[in-house]
Structure 1
Amino acid sequence: MKKLHSRKMVAVFALALSSGAAMAADLPHYKAPPPPPPPMWTGFYVGLNAGGTWGNSNAVWTTSAPIFALGGGAATTLLAASSALGASAVSPGKTSGFIGGGQIGYNWQFYNSFVAGVEADIQGVAASNSNTTAGTAVGAFPFIGAAEVLVTGIAASKRLDYIGTVRGRLGWLFTPTLLVYGTGGLAYGGVSVSTGITQFNNDCAQFPGACLAPAAFSSGAFSDTRVGWTAGGGLEWMFWPNWSAKVEYLYYDLGNVSYSAGVLATGGDTLFAGAIAAAVVMQSHTRFNGNIVRAGVNYHFNWGAPPVVAKF
């Protein structure tokens, strides 16, 4: 009897164990979520870029004012005024060219879809602006029916030698591999501009043997590094592990430049032949601002990031 009771107890215990195992098998299983992958955009990067630039303000303005008229009489006063008029002009032109250089920066990806960072770059510029403006001012003086004829030539050259920026960037990930961003900050560049003026006093048409006045020359130049600001935006695509390509637009403004173009001393031809009859002082000014469109490629030192599969 005791053996039968023991056998029944063992059978009941075995049945309970098998039922518990079956119930445990039917319960849902919960797994801890995997840790999020490290942000693929966070880290340092370096790269190269190339593109084009064109200026917004290409003209060089030259203005002149009389500072001397021989004897102060009406004839020389009119000669000085005509000299100043002829030596005042706008030299139009077009500045455009190829740029190329490199950049270095750091990105920080946060809230999954936002990227902030800072970037510094510098580019050489293969561009220049050279142009010539010629003007003629005529003054008629009561001297045996002769007219003092002033012919003026103005040559201006303007050039941006290099340009660089230090900018902040803030963008949004349209997809995990495509960044849309805005950017702005400091711009700097090497600029040079010059003005050369030549003026002739000539009435040989009336008196062929009276061309005695030598040509008057004057010039001035400015060359320095200018500092201003820049702003723009672009797209950057992570097309391969650690590699991205970008296209970018920037507007830059390095400010206004003014410089002396010297003093132009005009001699007399028929009237006051061979003497300095009038003198004018000249000032030139221009502005260095423009646009940059470029493409580039970056290598990202984000070793902890997972492999990137480019998708749109």
Structure 2
Amino acid sequence: MNDRLRLIGALVGALAAGSAIAADLPSAKAPPAPLAAPAPAFSWQGFYVGAYAGALLGEGTFTYLRDTPIRGAGFLGGGTLGYNWQWTPTIVLGLEADFGYRGSQNAETVGWNTPSATETGVFGTFRGRAGYAFTRNWLIYGTAGLAYGSDFVPTAFTSQLPLTLGQLSTGTTVRAGWTAGAGVEYAWSDKITVKGEYLYTELADSGVAYSTNFGAVPLNVKSAGHIVRGGVNYHFATPAAAPPAPILTK
């Protein structure tokens, strides 16, 4: 009987000692929580369509005996069609075409010349774009290419010397030219972007004719101006896939 009591006492002592040793050991650390996958970057790749509106600040000239500036802001608005190549995660190349309506421009009175406002017309461009996607949703870009549009031709003019009254007889014509500028675009969602853009545009000089009290008079018109506009585009691309979550190793 005493032997059994001694055996039971030895077992209880061993268990108590083991519990004390386990209490002294550092607790095991829980595995770290898995890292959240970063939000996917916007994909600029693919076709898009959109609309724009803004102002054209005229900087042309009307020449009768001397140059007369054609200035003043006119409405500009229309549609856009384009395609982007996401060359690298940060480099975006593209082609863009737009076409729209151009409002009339004012002509300043200089010396003895007083032209009227210009006729309304059309305006469009076909440009290349090179951009840098500097954050997940932002793109800055430069752009340049072909421009075309109705020339800035006053519908009539008067001249104090030599007392000339003129009425446009040939009408406006569409001239080719060039344009260059820059812009910034923001991805509002995975399909919608908004942008702000500046362009300088210059069209080829125009030879126009006016019927005057001295007969038909050929004149020269230069059409140029600054364009400031905003736009919204719908992209047919899908958002870029998120990178896989990192694999945790022991």
Pick the aligned partner of 2:198 from 249, 254, 268.
249
SS at 1:223 equivalent = coil
Question: Does 2:3 align with 1:54?
Answer: no
Q: How far apart, in 2, do the equivalents of 1:245 and 1:61 lie?
A: 40
Q: How far apart, in 1, do the equivalents of 2:173 and 2:75 lie?
A: 21
Distance verdict in 2 for CA 1:232–1:217, change over 3 Å: closer
Q: Deviations over 1:98-150 (max 9, x none)?
A: 21111010111022110001011112122332566784xxxxxxxxxxxxxxx
Question: Does 2:93 align with 1:170?
Answer: no
SS at 1:56 equivalent = strand
Pick the aligned partner of 1:286 from 215, 221, 224.
221
Q: How far apart, in 2, do the equivalents of 1:219 and 1:121 lie?
A: 32
Indicate the residue corresponding to 2:234 in structure 1: 299
Indicate the residue corresponding to 1:74 in structure 2: none
Q: How far apart, in 1, do the equivalents of 2:114 and 2:140 lie?
A: 47
Q: Deviations over 1:210-248 (max 9, x none)?
A: xxxxx9865444411111111111111112111111111
Q: How far apart, in 2, do the equivalents of 1:62 and 1:112 lie?
A: 54
- Select the structure that is richer in strand: 1
Indicate the residue corresponding to 2:89 in structure 1: 112
Matching of residues 33-182 of structure 1 within 5 Å:
40-57=43-60, 59-63=61-65, 90-129=67-106, 135=112, 155-182=115-142
SS at 1:163 equivalent = strand
SS at 2:179 equivalent = strand
TM-score (norm. length: structure 1): 0.56
For the pair shown, which has the larger CA radius of gyration, 1 or 2?
Answer: 1
Tell me the amino acid that sits aligned with residue 142 of structure 2: G
1:259 shift after superposition: 2.5
Q: How far apart, in 2, do the equivalents of 1:92 and 1:249 lie?
A: 21
1:167 shift after superposition: 0.5
SS at 1:258 equivalent = strand
Pick the aligned partner of 1:188 from 126, 148, 152.
148
Quote the RMSD (CA, aligned, Å). Answer: 3.2
CA contact (8 A) 1:62 1:282 kept: no
Deviates more, 1:122-131 or 1:99-108: 122-131
Q: How far apart, in 1, do the equivalents of 2:134 and 2:115 lie?
A: 51
CA contact (8 A) 2:123 2:149 kept: yes
Q: Deviations over 1:232-280 (max 9, x none)?
A: 1111111211111111101111121122335644xxxxxxxxxxxxxx8
Distance verdict in 2 for CA 1:286–1:175, change over 3 Å: same
Q: How far apart, in 2, do the equivalents of 1:291 and 1:158 lie?
A: 16
Tell me the amino acid that sits aligned with residue 234 of structure 1: G
Q: Deviations over 1:128-181 (max 9, x none)?
A: 32566784xxxxxxxxxxxxxxxxx86444235121001111111111211111
Question: Does 2:220 align with 1:260?
Answer: no
Q: How far apart, in 2, do the equivalents of 1:44 and 1:116 lie?
A: 12
Q: How far apart, in 2, do the equivalents of 1:181 and 1:105 lie?
A: 14
Structure 2, gaps ≥5 residues long: 1-36, 243-250
TM-score (norm. length: structure 2): 0.69
CA contact (8 A) 2:107 2:114 kept: no
Structure 1, gaps ≥5 residues long: 1-33, 64-88, 136-152, 202-214, 266-279, 308-312
SS at 1:245 equivalent = strand
Q: Deviations over 1:287-309 (max 9, x none)?
A: 101111111111110136448xx
